[in-house]
Chain A
């Protein structure tokens, strides 16, 4: 028989009061179990299911979805790190402004900026004074005028999303902060939270006021314990200091990349398997617990204080016409100085890499570049070096700015192994709900792995491309499109390498057996 320790029983009560529906306590309670026991046992699941008002079998099904609830031993899964860089780990501690007018990273180097007193010395929460003079419609109009586009991956105009929120009389509206940063190569949201959490809180306050949110939920990646605790501390201080008034609950993913997708994220908060939801309806119409919800990325929210303080025109004065403002680029890969950079939209990639990041490390040459995570088409070096860091330029080059997770790949790298690594990631992370993604990701991974080992055929290359085609645009969410983009771009632009593997029966960059 499982029971919580007395102090944890108190936390159970707190958790129950933090959610409008009992069912949503399922994941936080499972975390509490793991904290107490180190592992989630069947007896614990039965106990937690009863508290959450969920059928025991269903609690098992939910628990089995999340990698971090698996026990130590054979069924433990290696979590793909989101700073996956093909063998080279990146310390996300290097963050700097690389533009004349940084909007977000201004105080990243100020020591103890996470402390409220220090943050206030540097102007935190000053913009909120304006909220008392602005109605929600005014805030929405301001953000629409600013042209701000989401920084979570899709780049959807933020003001337009708020405008579409279908508020129903007497019904709740929720703001959900997507702090589940797990796109490989992306670590800029984590930098914001660790280095200037009050900036994020200020942005949340603005968004909450604009959409008249009754409550805010902040959803963290499962392995982001440190950013979570920094944020929780800053939240506590800001509330106690009377700087913010919104009701806020911190939620934690348990090892599922797909839960960074907004509709799967909502399911996860609700205590369900992190499956994506068929759209329509969109979250702005029926989102968290069925209520109109705006899901916003951390960086998007962190920009709002500047817009509120300085105005839409000032924001539009930075960057380009279609991509106003700045972007936090998480640069990783074979560069001298990987890290988080704030760049003005429109900065040429070539300049960014050579001037800011010190060029390709170890004297190599750029071979390929992912502009925004691995769910976007890869660019060849010429394509990348001809593009600028903004939405439209990278669209013109045939890719997407996405999360701004830029991965620079040099000419010592085998692109087949790059694809294999990416395919393995997606094969593990597909939620499994819809047919093309569930079967296609695993299939593509198996083929890529075989080609990489030198056991593939020319037909395999074509089949892999076909499978990717069959997944594109045919699924409930864009995860499948992400893998398809990687497959189609890498296998066509670097087809020679695939054919070389087939022809020689091994990886050409592996040491020769002779």
Chain B
């Protein structure tokens, strides 16, 4: 692995929270923005005055006042086709209502967003949209987070006046590995089309036919299979595009959302983890202008499954008769203590680019003070150039390469013969061979994953995933991000610093480092690179 840590800078959000820069500058006619003169326009919306930069749309201006003009087809990250007609407003001097998403503000403009005619127009649009819309709410995953539902209740509540059969289209069609299409539910807003064309840069989905038989569709045997296809599910305002993975699993009103970050690669996309009764069901992208804008990739989105009990280690294991056996914590800790006290010439600590700075620091301290380690390597997933793209994905599939390489001595290197080896998370295949050929005196593995690679560690102790603890990562572009716990860990499966505590106690020693902040404090005090960091860790 050849990544070199660069001096990191705190990203726009630092803490993984978004700060969208506001071009709404103080009154004054003209202002300067990044060296270029910006012309300011003063306008009135619903009798409220504001100043915005020339080129701002009426919709964006109204959003800044917190007047949430209803809309379907507009998305701040995509072009504005103006096809839903929902965002109409009254502009003084204009004969007809105008769509605010494409209307540039003019100096002295007077806009009204809540007149009887505007209200009528919105209710009309909703009536047209619902005309051929199937009564699928009871079986539609979008229920509870559906723009059509929400805007209907807020702006219409008209009963249906259709006395004729509805137009029928394709339903429950798998159009890609992750996405299910119900063309009847589609309101032809074209957000998915524009997302695929403009953000992903490929054309995989579009409108076929015309008039009320217009249908969103994939064609020519080409699937909706780009690496970001589930973002279209995120932005689809209705249940036309839904996630196959999430299909029928949980009603969204039972879900609680917690902010965290994705650890699928070094990008560190900001996400929402949605859970119910302690079980994670899905991840959605979370807005962060500096890191991932509004997007994340499908692979990353599925990494929530790492927290599912079926995919993780829940109980300690020890190597016995060439087999890994499940044992109670006290037995595993006893075995470890035995092995360590038998003495080894040396101890090597292998830190992990897949875990947070805090867990790495806790493990480092454990190895140094309790296990006698003097060498501190780091390892992680091998880079995968085929995974990288020009959008978000990086070849480095580790979430914290930059972080761990700051505190370790160097990448995994030579292992002295017959030493003790303590590993956080795991080893790559080549490294495993290196380990075996070094005939270690003992091997300790602390990990969250179920072990696939056979029996090689003397003692394996389970730890929590990054979802279940506060953790700091240094993401691509040297952006420091911190996420709080988004889930509770299963009983008996704590973060690495608590595992270290249990080991210490089993050895009859004290251990006060029992939360993320304490790990950071230790790191600041004991690791030169962290002590020299600008700002606080």
Contact = CB atoms under 8 A, between A and B. Distances in A.
A431 interface: yes
A57 B102 CA distance: 28
B127 A470 contact: yes
Interface string B268-282: 000000000000000
A446 B97 CA distance: 28
B232 to A, nearest CB: 14
A438 B88 contact: no
Given A434-B84, A436-B124, A60 B132 contact: no
Nearest to B104: A280
Contacts of A382: none
Interface in B95-140: 95-97, 99, 102, 121, 124-125, 127-129, 131-132
Contacts of B81: 278, 433
Interface stretch (B207-215, B346-354, B401-409, B518-526): B207-215
B183 to A, nearest CB: 13
Contacts of B125: 435-436, 474
B203 A55 contact: yes
Interface of A is mostly: helix
A432 B214 contact: yes
B212 A439 contact: yes
Interface stretch (A397-405, A422-430, A499-507): A422-430
A274 B211 CA distance: 11
B163 A450 contact: yes
A429 B129 CA distance: 19
B302 interface: no
Contacts of A274: 210
B97 A57 contact: no
Contacts of A45: 220
Contacts of B432: none
Nearest to B204: A57
B187 interface: yes
B333 to A, nearest CB: 59
A256 B203 contact: no
A460 B83 contact: no
A447 B210 contact: no
A438 B121 contact: no
A427 B213 CA distance: 10
Contacts of B95: 473
Contacts of A56: 219-220, 222
A435 B82 contact: no
A429 B211 contact: yes
> How many interface residues does chain B have, given as a range?
35 or more
Contact of A443 (B96, B162, B187, B204): B162
Interface of B is mostly: loop
B64 interface: no
Contact of A436 (B128, B161, B188, B208): B128
A439 B131 contact: yes
Contacts of A60: 208, 219-220
A427 B220 contact: no
Contacts of B167: 442
A58 interface: yes
Given A57-B203, A58-B203, A65 B219 contact: no
B209 A432 contact: yes
Interface string A22-58: 0000000000000000000010011000000001111
A57 B82 contact: no
Interface residues of A, number: 47
A430 B99 CA distance: 20
B93 to A, nearest CB: 15
A64 B131 contact: no
A433 B83 contact: yes
B482 interface: no
Given A278-B102, A450-B164, A439 B129 contact: yes
A475 interface: yes
Interface in A43-96: 45-46, 55-61, 64-65
Nearest to B213: A432
Contacts of A466: 161
Interface in A432-463: 432-436, 438-443, 446-447, 450, 457, 459-460, 463
A40 B432 CA distance: 58
B218 interface: yes
B212 A442 contact: yes
Interface string B193-219: 000000000111111111111100111
B372 to A, nearest CB: 61
B85 interface: yes
B207 A474 contact: no
Contacts of B208: 60-61, 64-65
Contacts of B85: 434-436, 474-475
A475 B84 CA distance: 9
A414 interface: no
Contact of A474 (B88, B218, B220): B88
Contacts of B82: 278, 434, 476
Contacts of A450: 163-164
B103 to A, nearest CB: 9
Contacts of B97: 473-474
Contacts of A256: 210
Contacts of A273: 207, 210
Contacts of B212: 427, 430, 432, 438-439, 441-442
B99 A278 contact: yes
A468 B205 CA distance: 32
A433 B81 CA distance: 9
17 contacts: A46-B220, A56-B220, A57-B203, A57-B206, A57-B219, A256-B210, A278-B83, A427-B212, A431-B211, A432-B188, A435-B125, A435-B187, A442-B167, A457-B163, A474-B88, A474-B124, A475-B85
Given A56-B222, A466-B161, A473-B96, 20 more contacts: A57-B204, A57-B205, A57-B218, A58-B206, A60-B220, A61-B208, A256-B210, A427-B211, A428-B211, A430-B210, A430-B211, A433-B81, A435-B86, A436-B128, A438-B128, A441-B212, A442-B212, A443-B162, A443-B164, A474-B124
- Closest 10 A-B residue pairs measured CB to CB? A432-B214, A470-B124, A60-B219, A55-B203, A442-B212, A439-B128, A446-B164, A278-B82, A430-B211, A473-B96
